[in-house]
Amino acid sequence: MDMTPQDVMEFLQTTARSVGAEIASPWFYLQFGLILAATGIASATQAAVRARVDVGSLAMGWPAPLRHFVRVLVGSASTATFTLLMIVSRIAMYHATWPSRSYLLMVAAKLGLAWLVIRLVTSVLRNAFLVKLVSVTAWLVAALSITGELNAAVDMLDSVAIVLGDLRLTPLLVLKAGALLIVALWLTNIASNFIESRINRATDLTPSIQVLLVKMIRMGLLAVAIVIALGAVGINLSALAVFSGAVGVGIGIGLQKIVANFISGIILLADKSVKPGDLVTIGDNTGRISAMKTRYISVAAGDGREFLIPNEDLVTQKVVNWTYTDKNTLVKIPFGTNYDADPRLVCKLAAETAAAHPRAQKGKPPNSILTEFAEAGMKFSLTFWIADPDGMDNVKSDVMLALWEAFKREGIRVPYPVREIRVRGGALPVETTVEVPS
């Protein structure tokens, strides 16, 4: 039923007269004083409980549900104390005088009890913002119901409407849809987390397939939850065609990158070109893929940094995947010697030095070859295989240090330029020559 402005004014006037009559009574101030005293006692009780009770070790060894219940009660000691005092005061005044003279105490007791119950119910939620939102909303509904104003508030919220085709949009409809969506999304999150845990334990699925299945299931459950929630409040989805058109325009104007990254993420998960745990090089960034999200992938560099790279970049740019089909990695070390060294001995020493490293693969012997007779000396290339690219720079450093020690033992020198400056006549010009020891 639609309420006219005149009906709203009459409702407000009636409420004001009722409140004015209640305030004019001396019993109101007595009840108000008892409420203030109970509030002070409840605050002191809460402070004493926090100082003397260790909530972390409370009820250890009890069943988990009972332990959780006791800890929530201890954390809400002020509310429980206030509610108990209000109930006792209400009973005492109910038997001492007329019941109407303790009406405010009854309301306060019911409100305190409602908040305590809401606190116990919402304690199973983990999201702090969701807990506050649900708690405040549920308590407001309970307060309106306790004071007998719930039906009037519902009629008022339903009286203001915006008609969009076949859709009659009212504040009441929005609140109902929001509440149902919150519940539906919470249940969806629980179900998707349960399914994700089962999928991640499946050893016959690759990591990329696991991520793809989890994301598809989450999106499917999310769509089903939205459809069910909107249908439960009587919203015909065909009436939202105008909003879908607006969303399409928004995507065309300013959301191209978001949609492109989303589609690119689906492509990456489907073609398995990269997967969590792969060592990749994208531009100047190298690291292991730690997570694949809908919009980006996270690449851990190993030094505390994480690069968040948009999915579109992985589809459109060059990506080096060190572990795409095989984790075996070829390590290349270029080096040089002077011309006094025996090149065959140099190649033998380099191969033996690489083979002695604990990470060098035994099934693939190292190889050292002479690559160039350069002006400064002979140039060589040492190659060997390791089983995993992790720490490749450390392996190269270890082999080069061992090679340096081997050269010192054999008297093999590494070429380096020697600069000689000659000054003619004690002044400019200066002649510079470079000699390389042979």
Summarize pLDDT for 300-321 with one digit per residue, the tens. Answer: 887 778 888 888 888 888 888 8
60 and 207 both lie in a single domain: no
Q: Are 192 and 308 members of one domain?
A: no
pLDDT value of position 218: 81
| pLDDT in the model for residue 397 | 93
Region of 34 (left: φ > 0; alpha: ψ -120 to 50; beta: rest) is alpha
The number of CA neighbours under 13 Å toward the Cβ of 362 is 1
Residue 247 has pLDDT above 70, yes or no: no
Tell me how far apart the alpha carbons of residues 417 and 434 are, in angstroms, rounded to a whole number: 6
**Average pLDDT, stretch 362-389?**
89
In a domain, 434, yes or no: no
**Which stretches of 279-429 are assigned E, i.e. beta strand?**
279-282, 285-292, 296-300, 306-310, 319-321, 329-337, 367-373, 378-386, 418-423
Axis crossing angle, helix 150-159 with helix 5-24, rounded to the nearest 10: 150
pLDDT digits (tens, 9 = 90+) for 22-64: 566 677 778 788 888 888 888 888 888 877 777 666 666 667 6
Under 8 Å between Cβ of 245 and 285:
no
* pLDDT grade for 208, boundaries at 50, 70 and 90: low
216 and 247 in one domain?
A: yes
Instruction: List the one residue out of 313, 264, 261, 312 whose CA is nearest residue 285.
Output: 313
pLDDT score for 369: 93
The answer to whether residues 388 and 315 belong to one domain is no
Residue 218 in any domain: the answer is yes
Q: Which residue range is the domain that position 282 belongs to?
A: 270-321
Same-domain check for residues 35 and 94: yes
Of 301, 321, 341, which residue sits at a domain end?
321
Single pTM value for the model:
0.45
Query: With bands split at pLDDT 50, 70 and 90, how would you rate the model's confidence at 418?
Result: low
pLDDT digits (tens, 9 = 90+) for 209-220: 777 778 788 878
Number of domains in the chain: 4
**In sequence order, what DSSP letters do the residues of 188-207 get, joined into one string?**
HHHHHHHHHHHHHT-TTS-H
- For residue 167, what pLDDT is reported? 67
Cα–Cα distances (Å) from 372 to 256, 335, 343, 399, in that order, read 52, 11, 11, 21
Dist. CA 358–CA 361, nearest whole Å: 8
In a domain, 426, yes or no: no
Is the same domain home to 156 and 206? Answer: no
